[in-house]
């Protein structure tokens, strides 16, 4: 079984836990920091709210049943959808989308390879 890592995200209302391959968890945290750095430069009307990555851990035991664990690929797919929907005119949004899609492609390949190993 592959080693998984959990990335913790927090916004004003909730805590989100994303399960990632250990080899890619740092990339998700770094991508989140980069998006936060650049999101303020966007001038579009409908910029998605982005939670902050607040930590990573190897093991996680949740005691609050309202918190669910989100699959890493599902999380990055939703992130890609929300950023590709932005109607940005002035800021080069393509660079942010390129970073999101690069991690998305890496995760897709990782999951594909894992499914081959399990088969």
pLDDT digits (tens, 9 = 90+) for 54-82: 999 999 999 999 899 999 999 999 999 99
Tell me what the pLDDT averaged over the chain comes to: 91
The pLDDT of residue 43 is 85
Residue 2 has pLDDT above 80, yes or no: no
Confidence of residue 93 (pLDDT cuts 50, 70, 90): confident
**How high is the pLDDT of residue 60?**
92
Give per-residue burial for 79-91: e unless 16+ CB within 10 Å, then b: beeebeebebeeb
Residue 85 pLDDT = 92
Cβ pair 50, 28 in contact under 8 A: no
pLDDT above 90: percentage of residues in the chain: 67
Confidence of residue 1 (pLDDT cuts 50, 70, 90): low
Q: Is 56 exposed, middle or buried (0-12, 13-18, 19+ CB in 10 A)?
A: middle
Q: Among 43-47, 59-63, 96-100, whose mean pLDDT is lowest?
A: 43-47
Cα-based distances in Å from 108 to 10, 15, 19, 23, 51: 25, 25, 14, 13, 23
Q: Rounded distance, CA 113 to CA 116, Å?
A: 5
Q: Which two tokens stand for residue 9?
A: 């995200």
Task: Tell me the CA distances in angstroms from 53 to 17, 58, 100, one per residue in order.
Answer: 10, 15, 15
Range of the domain at 52: 4-118
Instruction: Provide the number of structural domains found in the chain.
Output: 1
């Amino acid at each position: 079984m592959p080693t998984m890592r959990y990335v913790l995200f927090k916004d004003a209302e909730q805590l989100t836990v994303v399960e990632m391959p250990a080899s890619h968890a740092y990339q998700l945290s770094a991508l989140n920091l980069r998006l936060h750095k650049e999101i303020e430069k966007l001038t579009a009307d409908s910029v998605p709210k982005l939670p902050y990555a607040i930590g990573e851990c190897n093991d996680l035991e949740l005691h609050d049943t309202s918190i669910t664990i989100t699959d890493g690929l599902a999380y990055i797919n939703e992130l890609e959808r929300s950023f590709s929907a932005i109607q940005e005119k002035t800021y080069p949004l393509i660079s942010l989308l390129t970073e999101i899609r690069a991690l998305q492609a890496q995760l897709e390949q990782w999951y594909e390879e894992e499914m081959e190993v399990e088969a």
